[in-house]
Amino acid sequence: MIDNHSAKKLVMDHVSHGYGELAVLQNLNLEVSPGEFVVLVGPSGCGKSTLLNLLSGYIKPLSGLVHREGLIRTVYQQDSLFPWLTVAENISMGLIQNKNTAAREQELRKLFELIHLVDFKDHYPHQLSGGMRQRVELARVLAGDSDILLMDEPFSALDYQARLRMRRELIRLLKERPRTVVFVTHDIEEAAQLADRVLVLSNRPASVCRELKINSPRPRDPADEEVVQAMKVILSELGLQA
Amino acid sequence: MKPKIPERSGASVQVVNNKTPKRISILRYILPVAVITLLLLVWHFVCFFHVFPAYALPSPGDVFKSFKEEIISGRLVTDIIASLWRVAVGFGISVILGIPVGLWLGQHLFARLSFLPVLNFFRFLSPLAWIPFAILWFHIGDKPAIFLVIMATCFPLMLATMTAVATIPSIYFRVAQDYNYKGFELVTRVTLPAVLPQVITSLRVSYGIAWVVIVAAEMVGCQDGLGYGIWIARNGLRLDSAVCYMIIIGLLGMGIDRLLNQLTKLPNIRWGYDR
């Protein structure tokens, strides 16, 4: 069964937010079950990142409640590894709560084995490829006792093939270390490949305009029947079908 | 396109173009030596044909003789040590004062708004303008020279550090917040390392200023040092000796800049220059 890392809840209750005159989110309800993989897609500028910032507690909603349990970690769209630290030192940031040095070392070694970058632990981020850096980011947020992962278009800076590989990598890592995930993307294929549940957001002010469950097991191929079907639904919901 | 393969040794990162690096590294020595030889030849012929009177432009041979004299008498060495000591102390105080204040200013908007005009004013004020005060306050000796070096380097260092803090990508602070870095830890583990590459560049620039200022400071406020050496030579119309001091000043300045440049090769600094 799932270990207790993923047994934490994340709830948004009638949340509205905006900046000055600009309403960004309107009366949004969202409940993420423990261990669930929720993907948010929506037109650009619709407030996806604002939603993640609310979930992480980085900003407070103007009205409504955000209820979160457990340790939340975020993977960002830009390179957010510290360039002055080696890969190992970057990942160790996630282990800072762990006071036992030996246990920390052991956990670090396990994480490197998990992301298959054992040979690169003393390298600096700028010496790695984009895909490798993103794997290091994943290891950093998986390290320690994180419960919930918020991912803000984490693979959008990668080329298509690297993106495909990273999706499979993410699924593999989550099998080893289950977490509750809220994943924001503008990539419809990515949403269909990864999600237990896809939430399609409307234009600003954003609200959920379609909820879509995808039950087939992962990893899923982009050409799988269910994935293609899901993509069609999302595309039509966004008004983008041919 | 070459596939992007991560470097295993840091060394190969430095090769920028493919034009047979070995040939370039030989040329790196041959070309400057050729230029220097040419300059010496021009100098020699200008003296040989008496373009200037002998007392106004010493020949390379005169300067070489004067070098021997100065070294044997030991005066050159004591002057070098005196100047290096003053610059080291003054520059050291500037670094200890300037970088923390720069970090603080960079992080606090109101501090920046309050102090920026004053700091800019002092930055544009030639440090040599302080000479009369330096001598009245500190008399003759190491102190006025050190004071002038501080006045020359502290403000540029402060401002450069402050500006560097402003350019740190905000994502680093987001991550720092995610991992609970606060207060002093935030400064030492995020802010400072993030600005170090730029701070080191400004160290090199302000060291250059310090080295220029020390010569002027020693001409008026000291009884020894390289600047004082030039002053004495001028008073005695011994321009051969002045030129030999000038050569030493130039060479030492270059040498210390090379040392400071080594800092940019540190592995946790390198990233700032490789992008």
Contact residues on chain B for A128, CB-CB shorter than 8 A: 6
Percent of all residues in chain A with a pLDDT value above 70, rounded to a whole number: 97
Confidence of residue A124 (pLDDT cuts 50, 70, 90): very high
A217-241 pLDDT, tens digit per residue, is 888 888 888 889 999 998 888 888 7
pLDDT at A2 over 70: no
Q: CB-CB: which of A56, A84, A94 is closest to B271?
A: A84
How far apart (Å, rounded) are the C-alpha atoms in residues A114 and A111?
5
Q: CB-CB: which of B179, B196, B267 is closest to A93?
A: B179
Inter-residue contact A182 to A10 (CB < 8 Å):
yes
B134-163 pLDDT, tens digit per residue, is 999 999 999 999 999 999 999 999 999 999
Q: What pLDDT shows up at residue A131? A: 86
CB contact under 8 A, A73 and B193: no
pLDDT at B275 over 70: no
Report the gap between the CA of B164 and the closest CA in chain A (Å): 15
ipTM score over 0.90, yes or no: no
Instruction: Provide φ and ψ at A184, rounded to 5°.
Output: -100, 135
B218-256 pLDDT, tens digit per residue, is 998 889 999 999 999 999 999 999 999 999 999 999 999
Q: Which residues contact A129 (CB under 8 A, 6 or more apart)?
A: A162, B4, B6
Distance of CA A132 to the CA centre of its chain: 17
Contact residues on chain B for A121, CB-CB shorter than 8 A: none
* Chain A interface residues (partner B, CB cutoff 8 A): 56, 58, 73-74, 76, 78-80, 82-86, 93-94, 96, 120, 123-129, 132
Report the gap between the CA of B265 and the closest CA in chain A (Å): 12
Q: What pLDDT shows up at residue B11? A: 40
Q: What tokens does B172 get?
A: 């680093």
Contact residues on chain A for B10, CB-CB shorter than 8 A: 127
Please tell me which residue of chain B has the smallest CA distance to A56: B178
pTM for the predicted model, two decimal places: 0.83
Report the gap between the CA of B96 and the closest CA in chain A (Å): 22
How far apart (Å, rounded) are the C-alpha atoms in residues B7 and B206?
33
Q: CB-CB: which of B6, B177, B179 is closest to A129?
A: B6
Q: What is the DSSP letter of B141?
A: S
Please tell me which residue of chain A has the smallest CA distance to B172: A80
Q: In whole angstroms, how far apart are CA B132 and each of A53, A131, B18, B135, B147? A: 58, 61, 55, 5, 12
Confidence of residue A7 (pLDDT cuts 50, 70, 90): low
DSSP A23-44: EEEEEEEEEE-TT-EEEEE-ST
CB contact under 8 A, B178 and A73: yes
CB contact under 8 A, A83 and B179: no
Instruction: Provide φ and ψ at B167, rounded to 5°.
Output: -95, 5
With 0-12 / 13-18 / 19 or more C-beta atoms within 10 angstroms meaning exposed / middle / buried, residue B170 is exposed
Among A56, A59, A82, A129, the residue to mutate for chain B (most B Cβ within 10 A): A82
Q: CB-CB: which of B4, B6, B179 is closest to A123?
A: B6
With 0-12 / 13-18 / 19 or more C-beta atoms within 10 angstroms meaning exposed / middle / buried, residue A42 is buried
Report the gap between the CA of B196 and the closest CA in chain A (Å): 9
How far apart (Å, rounded) are the C-alpha atoms in residues A127 and A87?
10
**More confident: A208 or B8:** A208
Give me chain B's average pLDDT, please.
89
B41-66 pLDDT, tens digit per residue, is 999 999 999 999 888 899 999 999 99
- E-strand ranges in A69-161 read 71-75, 146-152
How far apart (Å, rounded) are the C-alpha atoms in residues A225 and A236?
17
CB contact under 8 A, B267 and A124: yes
